Structure 1
C-alpha cells in the first residue's frame, strides 16, 4: 500500500518532461504516475532528483519502455535507495537472485498473493519497495496497489472505531526446520535477539519448534503525520 500526496501542477510535470525525454501520465484516475520512455533513453540516464520529486508527489511510479535486466535494475535502485534489508522472518519462500539477499523472487508464479502490507507482521518493515518484471505474463500477473489513506476514509465509522480501539495480533507456529530457514540462523540465542529487537514474543517448545506473536495497530499515521491510514498484512 502507498500513501498519495497532493496532485502537482501541469507546469511541474512539463518541467520534468523537458529533462527526462519521457511521457508522464496517471496510472489510474486515483493513484500514481507512469513514466514512458519516448526516445530509447537508458533508465540510468534519468535525472535522479526529478525521479525523487515525482515519487515524493505521487507515492508510486511505474516505468515502461526501458531496456532493463537484473543488473541494471539493481544499479538503478541503488541510485535512489539505501539500507536495503533482507527477508529474514518473511512469510513466503522467496528465492534469492544472484546471491543478493535483498533481491528476491516474489512467489515464482506458484500462487496469488492477496493485498497486504509488506512484512507488516513484524516491526522491521521496508519503507519503500522496488519491483522488476523480467518476464511479463501473457495474462494476469498484475500487482495490486492500494492507497491506505483512501481505504481508511471509505470504511464505516464503526469499523474505524473498532480498529482504533483494538490492535492486531499475528500468531504463527513454526517448526525447527522452518524457522531456521525463515530467520536464516540455526542459533536459538540469535533468534531470541531478532525477536526482541522486533518486539515479537517468542516461545520455544521442547522439540525446538516455536510460537511467535506480534501485536501492532491496524491504523497508523501517514508519513507526513496528517492522516490516518489502514495498512497491515492480511
Structure 2
C-alpha cells in the first residue's frame, strides 16, 4: 500500500506528492514520479522524512549526467559536491531557467530546503507553456518568428573550472560544435554568443516553451537581443513580464521539502528575504532517456 498520495492542482501548476509523514521519498514508485513529472513539469514533495542524503539519492535515480555550476557563489554540500547551494545573497531573483542562455541547459533542476527563511524567500516558479498561451497574439507571433541571441562573458577561472582545461583554443573549438561563437579578450575572459529559437519543445512534455532568460538582471553582464540584431522592445518585454507574473506560483518551502522542475519548461526565481540562516540546495542534471 502506498504511503503517499498524488494531488494534481490544475493545468500549469505543480503536482504535489504528499507523504503521510512516516516514509521516505525513496518509497515513491519510479513510474509515479516519471509520469507526473512529464505531465506537470513541476513536482512538490511534502510529508516525507527527507534529508539532504535522500534528496541526493532520489535525484540520481533519474540522472544520466549531473552538472556542477562553476561559479564561485555556489558552495558544495558536504554530502556530495554535486549538491550545491543556490545563489548567495538575500535579494530577489527574476524568473529564469538554469543556464537557459547557453546550450548547456540541464533537463532537470531540483531544490531541497534545509532551513527556510523566517520571513520571505519564497521560491517562485512559472510554466513557460502558460506564458505562451497568455501572450497577446502580436507578441506571440514575434517570438514564433525570431531567434534570441545571448551574449555573455565567462571569467578565465570559471571557464577553466567548467571545461576542465586551460586551453582556450580547445574550448573555442568545442563551443563552435555547440553553435557558440567565442573569443578571448585580453584578460582571457571568454566572450560568447549563442542563438536559439525563442519557442521550442520541452524535453519531457513536448509542449511549446519559450526562451527563458529574457530578464537581463538574472545573470550579470548578459545581453539579450533578437538574432537579427534588433533590440527586444520594452513593449514586448512588458507583455512577457505581464504573462509571467499572471502564472507565477510562490512556494514557501519548509524544512525537508523538495521541488523537482523540468528546466526546459519551467522558470524559477526567488523572493527577497532578510534571514541569513536560509539554506536551499540544488542538484541539476541531464535526464536518463
Coarse TM-score class (shorter-chain normalised) = 0.7 to 0.9
1:84 aligns with 66
- Cα distance change on mapping 1:208 and 1:109 into 2, 3 Å: closer
1:3 aligns with none
Pick from 56, 65, 70 the counterpart of residue 74 of structure 1.
56
Pick from 115, 139, 156 the counterpart of residue 176 of structure 1.
156
More off after superposition, 19-28 vs 42-51: 19-28
Which of the two has greater helix per residue? 1
Segments of structure 2 that go 5 or more residues without pairing to the other structure are: 215-289
Q: Is residue 149–residue 230 contact of structure 1 (8 Å, CA) maintained in 2?
A: yes
TM-superposed deviation, 1:185: 3.7
More off after superposition, 47-56 vs 68-77: 47-56
SS in structure 1 of the partner of residue 65 of structure 2:
coil
TM-superposed deviation, 1:48: 1.9
- Cα distance change on mapping 1:51 and 1:206 into 2, 3 Å: closer
Pick from 100, 114, 131 the counterpart of residue 134 of structure 1.
114
2:94 aligns with 114
Q: CA–CA distance in 2 between the matches of 1:197 and 1:26?
A: 41
- Cα distance change on mapping 1:41 and 1:174 into 2, 3 Å: closer
Q: Is residue 21–residue 47 contact of structure 2 (8 Å, CA) maintained in 1?
A: no
Q: CA–CA distance in 1 between the matches of 2:172 and 2:81?
A: 21
2:190 aligns with 210
Q: CA–CA distance in 1 between the matches of 2:178 and 2:91?
A: 28
1:191 aligns with 171
Q: Post-superposition, which runs of at least 4 consecutive aligned residues in structure 1 deviate over 6 A?
A: none
- Cα distance change on mapping 1:56 and 1:195 into 2, 3 Å: same
Determine which structure has greater relative contact order: mean sequence separation of CA pairs < 8 Å that are 6+ residues apart, divided by chain length: 2
TM-superposed deviation, 1:186: 2.6
TM-superposed deviation, 1:172: 1.9
Q: CA–CA distance in 2 between the matches of 1:221 and 1:85?
A: 22
TM-superposed deviation, 1:226: 6.1
- Structure 2 length normalisation: TM-score? 0.65
| Coordinate RMSD, CA, aligned | 2.6
2:237 aligns with none
CA deviations on 1:154-204 (whole Å, 9 max, x unpaired) are 111111121122211111234434544555543213422442243211112
1:95 aligns with 75
Alignment map for 1:8-47 (pairs within 5 Å):
19-27=1-9, 30-47=12-29
TM-superposed deviation, 1:141: 1.8
The total of aligned residue pairs comes to 214
- Cα distance change on mapping 1:63 and 1:186 into 2, 3 Å: same
Q: CA–CA distance in 1 between the matches of 2:211 and 2:183?
A: 27
Q: CA–CA distance in 1 between the matches of 2:160 and 2:111?
A: 27
| Higher gyration radius (CA) | 1
Q: CA–CA distance in 1 between the matches of 2:35 and 2:27?
A: 16
